[in-house]
A = this chain, B = another copy of it.
Amino acid sequence: MNLFADQPERPRERADAARNRARVLEAAAELFASRDPRTVTMDDVAKAAGVGRGTLYRRFPDVASIARALLDEHERALQERLLRGEPPLGPGAPPAERLAAFYAAMVELLDAHIALVLGAETGPRRFETGAYGFWRAHVRALAADHTTTVGAAGQVDVLADILLAPLAPELFERLRADGHTTAEITTSLTDLATRVLS
């Protein structure tokens, strides 16, 4: 009998199902890396994974959700460092420095996994992911910490979204395509962080 009523006893995943899930993720990772993730279709993934359409749809409602699954672990790692890592990324440093460190880490993440991010969080979808909620809460806390007295309550919310806007994957992609280095981008964002939260 299951003592945890909230966590209903989910019959463990069957062996063939697990095998296929792994196949799908592997094949998808390769596809995303090899061409514009926004052109990858469910059919493509199914074929590349050697799996039928129905099987694919059983687990993933669309291509974005596959990319998100692949991206998840990387984002989780960063979230962990934000919550419990060393300063200035983790708690302890002044807000401006923490924001700058966050920017730097996000630029790294974007640079390493731009294909996945574009596949997962493009357009308006970006705001609906759990990850975005996390980043916003983090930045919001930093901003609120800094400007305790200044401005009304809602203002901090807006500011958080504004400060996250430059991290839109489409913009990053474009800046890189224009020949800008990640160092340049990080420098500008550090500058922004310093000026806004000081």
Contact = CB atoms under 8 A, between A and B. Distances in A.
Contact of A155 (B158, B159, B184, B196): B184
Interface residues of A, number: 33
Nearest to A188: B158
A171 B158 CA distance: 10
A187 B154 CA distance: 11
Interface string A175-189: 100101000110111
A166 B192 CA distance: 13
A196 B188 CA distance: 11
A174 interface: yes
A58 interface: no
A162 B190 CA distance: 12
Given A152-B184, A162-B192, 4 more contacts: A126-B170, A154-B184, A158-B184, A158-B188
